[in-house]
Amino acid sequence: MSSALVWFRRDLRDFDHAALYHALKHHRKVFCAFVFDTVILDALPQRADRRVEFIHASVVELDGALRARGGGLIVRHGPAAEVIPALAAALGVTAVLANRDYEPAAIARDGDVAERLRVLGVGFETFKDQVIFEKSEVLTQGNSPFSVFTPYKRAWLKTLTDFHLKAYPVEKYAASLAPLPDGETLPSLADIGFEPTNLVELGIQPGMSGGRKLFDDFLKRIGRYKAKRDFPAVKGVSYLSVHLRFGTVSIRELARAAHGIGGEGAETWLSELVWRDFYFQILWHHPRVIGACFKPEYDRVQWDDAPALFAAWCEARTGYPIVDAAMRQINHSGFMHNRLRMIVASFLTKDLGIDWRLGEKYFADQLNDFDLSANNGGWQWAASTGCDAQPYFRIFNPVTQSEKFDPDGSFIRKYLPELAQVPNKFIHAPWTLPPIDQKLAGCVIGTDYPAPVVDHAKARERTLARFGVVKGAAGNEDET
């Protein structure tokens, strides 16, 4: 009787799970484990971290689901590279199975685990699970990785078959789940050194149940996704990103639904899932993007050393309402609407002239759905340093973006109540409101709300000059 250990990581569900399926199908006795990896947790800046609370609650739900199937989840707190081999030895399994991770640190960790297991005579197998296509499954006709999204998407869709969207039938082999060893208990959030956050207040429901609830709700709205997705005050997006990040939903189920429904809303949403795969394969083929520009010539761009301006951006004190409202949203909730991510990233890099890596790090610390590949890809896109990036001369105007995507200021007023009485005509640029009207609105610029920290027109000229050093000229000016 062969036995195996399934190591859960960013795949906290008991259905349509590649590693769990393969383990159950090929082994008579299958244990399941999750490790709160201290290598990762000890590096977090705060002990109150929404992601850790989300993971912990999802682990509790996963344990309950596995127990209902006759198994359970063995949970440990320590360095995963040491814990997993030790656990495999203690359980006497012949193999450890896990779903693949594509981040450089995870690849190094898995290599370490594989070697330790080899010494013990235990196999280590990994499977594709968190993406539809990985590594080199979608290549150019010249057999090289894509660096531009649109041709990648065309090739992705051309490669796609029903097989790639098929669910792994875990339940068919669930009888192979091994009961928990005696004395196994789940550590509390406090046991692993963390504190509760405001997840409940925010209405964020972790686990498979939370993912299912959001997905079912979004399917009712998916037809309107293309028309509504850019407006942060409107319920237009899926809100599934944190569930995708921790695998409490199945990427295959999501893509299968979008592909099957069709229509411009579902097709646009499927494109967002393709973007996710695109950035994963960029990270896999070009791990140098961590800490460096995808386009090496842009490493020569000279960013400003402006700690006071960076602090104003982080603390929502820029004087540009759409930027400040977005930053208050992320600081309060760990979520930021995608259109707003583009606006604030463009503002940091193109208006404030600050290195995109500082913004990338701030998002990495704050975002519930932080994913290394997508966060890096998004920041390099906005900074014009990445693959298929926005051209450096296309510079977001924060006022016109605000007028276009929050026309009546609903989103701004939600997060900046000090601007509540500012008329719609001036809500996007309140410093243009005459002083007497500022007093009437209860919002004196420079007292109740900051004056703009930079002049956009002047900042734009500086950005064109900054990038002109790289390109040799600052022509083809364009503003959005």
Per-position pLDDT tens, the chain of length 480: 699 999 999 999 999 999 999 999 999 999 999 999 999 999 999 999 999 999 999 999 999 999 999 999 999 999 999 999 999 999 999 999 999 999 999 999 999 999 999 999 999 999 999 999 999 999 999 999 999 999 999 999 999 999 999 999 999 999 999 999 999 999 999 999 999 999 999 999 999 999 999 999 999 999 999 999 999 999 999 999 999 999 999 999 999 999 999 999 999 999 999 999 999 999 999 999 999 999 999 999 999 999 999 999 999 999 999 999 999 999 999 999 999 999 999 999 999 999 999 999 999 999 999 999 999 999 999 999 999 878 889 899 999 999 999 999 999 999 999 999 999 999 999 999 999 999 999 999 999 999 999 999 999 999 999 998 886 534 445 666
Please tell me the predicted confidence (pLDDT) of residue 480.
Answer: 65
Question: φ and ψ at 446, to 5 degrees?
Answer: 95, -15
Cα–Cα distance measured from residue 64 to residue 319, given in angstroms and rounded to the nearest whole number: 48
Please state, as a whole number, how many other Cβ atoms lie within 10 Å of the Cβ of residue 464: 19
Structure tokens at 166: 């098929």
Q: Which of 156, 269, 356, 381 is catalytic?
A: 356
**What are φ and ψ of residue 450, in 5° steps?**
-65, 150
Please, which residues bridge with residue 128 across strands? none
The H or E element that residue 405 is part of is helix 398-405
Residue 366 corresponds to which tokens in the numbers above? 């704050």
What pLDDT score was predicted for residue 394?
87
Q: Catalytic site residue 379?
A: yes
CA angle 451, 455, 461 (to 5 degrees): 165
The half-sphere exposure of 273 on its side-chain side, counting CA atoms within 13 A, is 27
- What is the per-residue pLDDT for 473? 39
Distances (CA, A) of 56 to 46, 105, 121, 285, 364: 16, 22, 32, 32, 19
Kindly name the residue from 156, 379, 381, 397 that is annotated as catalytic: 379
CB 467 within 8 A of CB 474: yes
Considering the candidates 103, 125, 137, 338, report the single residue annotated as catalytic.
338
Catalytic residue among 7, 156, 275, 381: 275
Token digits for 212?
């299912």
Residue 479: what pLDDT? 65
pLDDT number for residue 160? 98
Q: Are 389 and 380 spatial neighbours (Cβ–Cβ below 8 Å)?
A: yes
360 labelled catalytic: no
- Superfamily covering domain 296-479: DNA Cyclobutane Dipyrimidine Photolyase, subunit A, domain 3 (1.10.579.10)
CB count in 10 Å sphere of residue 116: 18
Does 275 participate in catalysis according to the annotation? yes
| Catalytic one of 125, 272, 403, 418 | 272
Among 426, 469, 470, 466, CA closest to 449: 426
H or E element that contains 77: strand 73-78
Instruction: Quote the pLDDT of residue 474.
Output: 41
Domain 3-128 belongs in CATH node 3.40.50.10860:
no
Query: What crossing angle do the helices spanning 263-285 and 372-383 adopt, rounded to 10°?
Result: 100
Do the Cβ atoms of 98 and 9 come closer than 8 Å? Answer: yes
Residue 431 a catalytic site member: no
State yes or no: is 313 an active-site residue: no
* Per-residue pLDDT tens over the stretch 29-55: 999 999 999 999 999 999 999 999 999
Residue at token pair 């594509």: 102
- Its CATH architecture, for the domain 131-168+208-285, is Alpha Horseshoe (1.25)
Q: 325, 432 in Cβ contact below 8 A?
A: no
- The 10 Å CB-count burial string (b at 16+, else e) for 248-274 is bbbbbbbbbbbbeeeeebbbebbbebb
* C-alpha angle 167-267-165 in degrees, rounded to nearest 5: 15
Q: What are phi and psi of 352, to 5 degrees?
A: -90, -15
Say which of 125, 198, 303, 403 is annotated catalytic. 303
Residue 220 buriedness (CB in 10 A; 0-12 / 13-18 / 19+)? exposed
Domain extents for the chain? Answer: 3-128, 131-168+208-285, 296-479
